[in-house]
Amino acid sequence: MMRLMLILTVLVGALFVAALAAGPANIGLFESLGALVGGDAGPLTLVMREIRLPRALLALMIGGGLGLAGAAMQGYLRNPLADPGLIGVSSSAALGAVLAIQTGLSASFAFGLPLAALVGAVIGVVLVLVLAGPRGSSLTLILAGIAISALAGALTSLVLNLSPNPFAANEIVFWMMGSLADRSMTHVWIALPLILLGAVMLITLARGLDALTLGEDAAEAMGIGLRRMRLTLIFGTAAVVGASTAVAGAIGFVGLVVPHLLRPFVGAQPGRLLWASALGGAGMLLAADIVVRVVLPARDLKLGVVTALIGAPLFLHLIYRTRREGL
Amino acid sequence: MTLLTLKDFGVTRRKREVLRDVNMTVDQGELIGIIGANGAGKTTLMRAAMGLIDSTGHSSLAGLPPHARGRAVAWMPQSREIAWPVDVETLVRLGRTPHIAAGQRPQAEDFAAVERALLRMDLGALRGRTATRLSGGEQARVLIARALAQETPLLMADEPIAGLDPAHQIATMRSFADLASEGHSVIVSLHDLGLAARHCTRLIVIDKGGLAADGPPQEVLSAARVRETFGISAYFKTTAEGPIFQPLEVVA
């Protein structure tokens, strides 16, 4: 267990440094890190502090948050196919962002897009809570999430459908693929408090998630407050996913695949999986964002496309393994 | 010491009165069998007594704060759920949840309790195995051990011996009897009246929404009561080898 933590931490650290060193401006590793830490008013320091640092920080935070939220969601629903996007918050945040692009809010005001996405996320989570209620089975939560996702997706399509402006439509399509390119430290400051808050909430679920291995009845009889867990899960996931979508667009598969990959290494214990998935998610997104910049540097490859290209085959492997083990 | 008191206790679910006017107390050292036909309300009585579902009247357990209740009563539900492929020892250790504060690691006392539970349920050889890959009966024993590891004064188990082989059915009932002789009390629902007659110190019959009978097996399993509640005839004799109860025929 400690060894896994150590390996993952070292891996994430190495990928973070690599993410700082990767970019179109071909600069040596030590030179770039020196410019980041030491720093003068030169262009290299500017590149490091204003372009690469926020990008690497966002990959770290968002990847970690999505991995954590995915592990929490799978643990709560006791379903290895659950995903943090399941509660509909990512779709409703995307709808908010799409509306900001369509109405020109994002063009007239620099942070109109992430703020509109956050408003969308809040509306989404309120609707899910109203539909699923604070009590009740996990099935109602899944159904409410699917309903909200479908509605938000339909409205997003409607916006695209009726868009009189092909440039806006184009921008919407590209935004929805998810990316960390050209983000500033302000994006970091918008997302960081929410992701931190959500992560702290989700980490407190560890004990309850372990107990839920025995089912809801047994867990409740052992003193686990299911009602509070459910609210903590919904708000924690909404904070992480809403903030992530607001600054980076829709990035799929991290929350689905990372917990699945790491589960065997933590003895399948859902509580331990939270920490491991947070580190693993950060690692996966940092790696994907390096791939984006290294493979096709000139073509603005989107991050969400790469995570899906990595994630979908892993997901197929999960299905194959699930079928073989008859779980 | 009284471990459970129910006074004018009742349960109404979906506007249907499932149980009413239940009055009973459970003292230390009892092994109580709850018997009754399918759908009589055995599970409902136990879940409501613990406060897992809403009830009317007084239950000494339902009023406890969740944390205190986890130390007062252990519950083994009928649905044998093991959601993740964790190993047996880890699963049994989950029973220590009410004794371990959030963020705290299991102490020596917790590991000792897990060992005692594994020993009682004869699981030493299976401790390292993945719980989800065990057979149904083995899983049931693991889940009983989990409830035992909670080491509460009162243990409630919903059909714990269903699906076990004869040797483990007897061994499990004996473990419960041992617990009772050590001053704990155990409430089990079961359908095997033969085992109930042999091992329980007291039987409670649930029929028509209330307690139809409550007392030692010899009194409760009278020919009239068995016919009335279960619609069967039976052979029941106290022999040199203990009480023997054998259901015979369905009577109209």
Tell me, what's the ipTM? 0.90
pLDDT digits (tens, 9 = 90+) for B4-19: 999 999 999 888 889 9
Closest residue in A to B64 (Cα–Cα) = A223
Number of H helices, E strands in chain A: 16, 0
Q: Is the pLDDT of residue A297 over 90?
A: no
CB contact under 8 A, A214 and B146: yes
Percent of chain B with pLDDT over 70: 100
Domain interval for residue B121: 2-250
Distance CA B42, CA B38 (A): 8
Return the SS3 of B19: strand
Q: Is the pLDDT of residue B47 over 70?
A: yes
Amino acid present at B14: R
Closest residue in B to A267 (Cα–Cα) = B86
Distance CA A178, CA B236 (A): 74
Q: How far is B206 from chain A (nearest CA, A)?
A: 22
Is any Cβ of chain B less than 8 angstroms from the Cβ of A40?
Answer: no
CB contact under 8 A, B102 and A207: yes
Distances (CA, A) of A74 to A210, A270, A277, B37, B192: 12, 8, 11, 37, 38
Closest residue in A to B128 (Cα–Cα) = A267
Q: How far is A201 from chain B (nearest CA, A)?
A: 13
| Count of domains forming chain B | 1
pLDDT digits (tens, 9 = 90+) for B127-147: 999 999 999 889 999 999 999
Q: What is the mean pLDDT of chain B?
A: 93
How close are the terminal C-alpha atoms of chain B, in Å?
43
pLDDT digits (tens, 9 = 90+) for A38-73: 767 777 888 888 888 999 999 999 999 999 999 999
pLDDT digits (tens, 9 = 90+) for B186-215: 999 999 999 999 999 999 999 999 999 999
Mutant choice from B86, B97, B146, B158 vs A, greatest count of A C-beta within 10 A: B97
**Closest by Cβ to A220, choosing from B52, B71, B132:** B52
Closest residue in B to A208 (Cα–Cα) = B97
Enumerate the residues of chain B whose CB falls inside 8 A of the CB of residue A322: none
CB contact under 8 A, B83 and A212: yes
Is any Cβ of chain B less than 8 angstroms from the Cβ of A211?
Answer: yes
How close are the terminal C-alpha atoms of chain A, in Å?
24
What pLDDT is stored for residue A15 in this prediction? Answer: 96
Distance CA B218, CA A246 (A): 71
CB contact under 8 A, B83 and A222: no
Q: What is the mean pLDDT of chain A?
A: 90
Is any Cβ of chain B less than 8 angstroms from the Cβ of A223?
Answer: yes
Structure confidence at residue A326 as a pLDDT band (50, 70, 90): low
**Closest by Cβ to B67, choosing from A214, A217, A223:** A223
Is any Cβ of chain B less than 8 angstroms from the Cβ of A215?
Answer: yes
Closest residue in A to B49 (Cα–Cα) = A221
CB contact under 8 A, A218 and B76: yes
Domains of chain A, first to last: 2-325 (1.10.3470.10)
pLDDT digits (tens, 9 = 90+) for A134-156: 776 788 889 999 999 999 999 99
What pLDDT is stored for residue A247 in this prediction? Answer: 93
What pLDDT is stored for residue A110 in this prediction? Answer: 76
Enumerate the residues of chain B whose CB falls inside 8 A of the CB of residue A222: 70, 74-75, 94-95, 97-98, 150
Q: Is the pLDDT of residue B167 over 80?
A: yes
Q: Is the pLDDT of residue B182 over 90?
A: yes
Taking residues B27-38, report their average pLDDT: 95
Distance CA A160, CA B25 (A): 67
CB contact under 8 A, B84 and A223: no
Q: Is the pLDDT of residue B247 over 90?
A: yes
Contacts (Cβ under 8 Å, ≥6 apart) of B199: B31, B33, B173, B174, B176, B177
Distance CA A215, CA A76 (A): 10
pLDDT digits (tens, 9 = 90+) for B81-110: 999 999 999 999 999 999 988 778 889 999
Is any Cβ of chain B less than 8 angstroms from the Cβ of A200?
Answer: no
Closest residue in B to A326 (Cα–Cα) = B133
**Site of tokens 């009830």:** B55
Distance CA B112, CA B129 (A): 19
Tokens standing for residue B130: 């993945």
Which of A134-148, A224-238, B88-102, B160-174 comes out lowest in average pLDDT? A134-148
CATH (domain of B229): 3.40.50.300
**Site of tokens 């504060």:** B101
Distance CA B63, CA B151 (A): 20
Is any Cβ of chain B less than 8 angstroms from the Cβ of A207?
Answer: yes
Parallel/antiparallel/unpaired status of strands B202-207 and B210-215 = antiparallel
Q: How far is A221 from chain B (nearest CA, A)?
A: 6
CB contact under 8 A, A211 and B97: yes
